[in-house]
Amino acid sequence: MLRAISRLRSPLQSLSHSHLPALWSTSLKLLPTPPPPPPPPLLRTPWAAPFSSSRKRKGGGEEREESKEEEDAVPGVFIFGRDPQRPPRLFVVQPRLRPDSVLDSKLSEALNLAKSLEEHREGFFQEDFASKEVPPHTVVQNPAGRSAKAHADTYFGPGTVDNIKIHLKAIESEDLVDAVFVNAILSGIQQRNLEVAWEKPVLDRVGLIIEIFNAHAETKEAKLQSELAALMYKRSRLVRVRGPHGRLTFGMSGEAEVVSGRGRGSGGRGFISGAGETELQLQRRRIQERRNQLLAQIEEVRRTRAVQRSARRRHGGSDGRGLATVAVVGYTNAGKSTLVSALSSSDLYRDDRLFATVDPRLRSVILPSGKKALLSDTVGFISDLPVQLVEAFHATLEEVVEADLLVHVLDSSAPNIHEQRSSVLVVLRQIGVSQEKIENMIEVWNKIDLLNKNDETDAQGEILVECREENADKEESEALKEEEYTQMQEAREEEALPEAHNISASNQSSGLHLNEDASCSESSLMHEGLESDESLQIKCYSKLEPKFSARIEYEAAKSVETSAITGTGLRELLSLIDEKLNDGKTALKRSYEPFDRKWRPSYNIETSKAAEL
Ligand SMILES: Nc1nc2c(ncn2[C@@H]2O[C@H](COP(=O)(O)OP(=O)(O)OP(=O)(O)O)[C@@H](O)[C@H]2O)c(=O)[nH]1
Ligand SMILES: [Mg+2]
């Protein structure tokens, strides 16, 4: 065991152990000469020790004995230098989006992401999510909007950078901020320049999501995969930084170390200087070495999973015959774990934190026909899910690809339910789920109790404006929609956009009524990466009438409404699963050989756009 742990600590990581104290330093230091490997007091060991025995799970007190092997302290890599003993305090910067409803949902997601970054302590998070304070935040001009362009050097314009600096200075005295979270995807250079300007570590959306995965991973499998994702993220961000004495080096943004910018191999002068490996090459090589180690271990995990899957498919059932697996997928926080727990009378960890589940779990369930099936609870998805995570988590995501049936859980109370749905479809396609499986997927509209509650509250006149608008008078709303739709059609005809016309017509005939709001500016949609008029219409519709539109589409899809809390619709869902598993469409293709093809997600922009529709 000790040998296994020591094998995990590459020279690269040993370096990190001794260079973590300052906020600015990161755990993954990329120095030319490794210091002697010290005991790792600063990485995850402080909380790793209690993990080795048993842990209590929140929400029911199920004691779970984990094997020591599984809970091995895989050291992990921090994206930014932080104290693992306490959750970091992040200042959230949200670029403005239009319409306001989109901005609200994005900001709320950003704040939840910022609140979610916290390590477990003996199986628990220290603070209850609901009682956590809302992080300080600001909404700033969006450089990706129509009028302005993202600045190559600092992403935001100089005025915005200065404004944020003033905000930071204002709260500096209270020592409230450890790092700044920008809810956008930044390049390494932009991140580095913003750190210099704000004198704080900066995390972008990708970095924060990977860091949350790192913090929440418990099993060895999840830890290995999150470390790999973090490493890949760091590798893509090796930028030349200036050390404290003004010398240049390569490293993660925020690291300021003194190393030669020249080659280090020969150490000679004149024409032979610079021969050998440059600092950048050296650091890339170290990352590569660690990556290879991680990949080898993940490959082992993957093979074990494939063998187990194969065995389950062959004779996992109580009657000695195959056992079907149903993968429960969906946007993070949609209620997947709660639903799996409710269906299987088990007690999986559930929490309002985003990415509460990083370690996949299987639970068995008896279907109405008496047959047994396995429900697989897995990681949630999110819009702009980092590519590094998708790649690193392929051992886990293969469970989804290989499942016999997919159940897509949607949070019916989410204001941006349509966008969430699209994001999940994009990821499913990215990871290689077949079109056939996607078409056969069951869509579950979960948290229906919250919608019903909203309806009741509305009747009492105490509901939020958004909900009031949504539920006020459906007929009137329908009439308005028709009117707006006709106007839109006319406008489009005038603009001679035959494709859009056709699309609208086809959607209308299938029972979907499109709506376009004047406030749904093209610039905001362009920011979403949408170009066609078709996307524009559908996006506008989904964003401006989120719950209503989702309900229409939901009805069209003939899926099921549930509440994992009250138990509404669970029986119906089980019957639907039973039916799907028994019909001819659900191809229970029993490949008895362990899964062995080289897995690579396809990052096809066309596919992504298709999924958006
Ligand atoms: N009111 C209500 N709350 C629910 C329902 N289902 C889940 N929740 C709550 O929603 C929150 C998220 O639930 P989880 O089951 O952790 O969601 P998840 O999809 O597994 O989330 P991740 O693992 O983070 O991706 C928890 O606080 C649950 O109690 C429901 O049907 N109704
Ligand atoms: Mg979960």
Can you tell me the ipTM of this complex? 0.99
Q: Which atom of ligand 1 is nearest to the CA of 341?
A: 15
Q: What is the pLDDT of residue 88?
A: 86
| Contacts (Cβ under 8 Å, ≥6 apart) of 248 | 240, 241, 242, 261
Average pLDDT of the chain? 68
How confident is the model over 334-362, as a mean pLDDT?
A: 91
Q: Which atom of ligand 1 is nearest to the CA of 334?
A: 19
Distance, CA 332 to ligand 2 centroid (Å)?
Answer: 7
Identify the band that residue 140 occupies on the pLDDT scale cut at 50, 70 and 90.
very high
Which of 47-56, 121-130, 141-150, 297-306 is predicted with the least confidence, judged by mean pLDDT? 47-56
Distance, CA 453 to ligand 1 centroid (Å)?
Answer: 16
The answer to whether the CB of 380 is under 6 A from ligand 1 is: yes
User: Exposed, middle or buried by CB within 10 Å (0-12, 13-18, 19+), for 432?
Assistant: middle
Q: Among all ligands shown, which has an atom nearest to the Cα of 410?
A: 1
How confident is the model over 404-415, as a mean pLDDT?
A: 93
User: Exposed, middle or buried by CB within 10 Å (0-12, 13-18, 19+), for 303?
Assistant: middle
What are the residue ranges spanned by the domains of the chain? 316-447+570-612, 475-557
Identify the band that residue 55 occupies on the pLDDT scale cut at 50, 70 and 90.
very low
User: Residue 363 in 3-state DSSP?
Assistant: strand
Superfamily of domain 316-447+570-612: P-loop containing nucleotide triphosphate hydrolases (3.40.50.300)
Cα dihedral 592, 595, 597, 601, rounded to 10, equals: 130
The answer to whether the CB of 570 is under 6 A from ligand 1 is: no
Q: Which atom of ligand 1 is nearest to the CA of 563?
A: 31
Pairing mode, strands 248-252 and 238-242: antiparallel
Q: What is the pLDDT of residue 283?
A: 78
Q: Among all ligands shown, which has an atom nearest to the Cα of 451?
A: 1
Residue 570 parent element (H or E): helix 570-582
Write out pLDDT tens, residues 20-54. 333 333 333 333 434 444 433 333 322 222 222 23
Q: What is the pLDDT of residue 11?
A: 39
Which residue's CA lies nearest to atom 17 of ligand 1? 335
Q: What is the pLDDT of residue 517?
A: 33
- Cis peptide upstream of residue 594 (ω within 30 degrees of 0): no
User: Exposed, middle or buried by CB within 10 Å (0-12, 13-18, 19+), for 512?
Assistant: middle
Mutate to test the pocket of ligand 1, among 117, 350, 410 (most ligand atoms within 8 A of CB): 350
| Contacts (Cβ under 8 Å, ≥6 apart) of 76 | 27, 43, 44, 214, 217, 223, 226, 227, 230
| pLDDT above 90: residue 205 | yes
The answer to whether the CB of 338 is under 6 A from ligand 1 is: yes
Write out pLDDT tens, residues 305-341. 888 888 887 766 656 567 899 999 999 999 999 999 9
Distance, CA 379 to ligand 1 centroid (Å)?
Answer: 13
The model's pTM: 0.69
Q: Among all ligands shown, which has an atom nearest to the Cα of 58?
A: 1
Is 593 or 160 the better-scoring residue by pLDDT? 160
Alpha-carbon gap, residue 562 to 408, rounded angstroms: 12
Write out pLDDT tens, residues 227-282. 999 988 888 777 555 555 554 445 554 444 333 344 444 445 555 555 556 667 77
| Contacts (Cβ under 8 Å, ≥6 apart) of 18 | 35, 38
| pLDDT above 50: residue 303 | yes
How confident is the model over 101-126, as a mean pLDDT?
A: 86
Write out pLDDT tens, residues 516-526. 332 333 233 23
User: Highest mean pLDDT range out of 293-297, 453-457, 591-595?
Assistant: 293-297
Alpha-carbon gap, residue 330 to 336, rounded angstroms: 7
Distance (Å) of CA 222 to CA 72, 171, 174, 213, 498: 11, 36, 36, 8, 49
Q: DSSP state, 52?
A: G
Q: Among all ligands shown, which has an atom nearest to the Cα of 338?
A: 1
Which residue's CA lies nearest to atom 10 of ligand 1? 335
Q: What is the pLDDT of residue 406?
A: 95
Q: What is the pLDDT of residue 566?
A: 93
Is 254 or 454 the better-scoring residue by pLDDT? 454
How confident is the model over 97-107, as a mean pLDDT?
A: 89
The answer to whether the CB of 564 is under 6 A from ligand 1 is: yes
The answer to whether the CB of 350 is under 6 A from ligand 1 is: yes
Write out pLDDT tens, residues 487-503. 444 444 444 333 333 32
Q: Which atom of ligand 1 is nearest to the CA of 356?
A: 24
Q: What is the pLDDT of residue 452?
A: 67
Distance, CA 338 to ligand 2 centroid (Å)?
Answer: 7
Q: What is the pLDDT of residue 112?
A: 94
Q: Among all ligands shown, which has an atom nearest to the Cα of 566?
A: 1
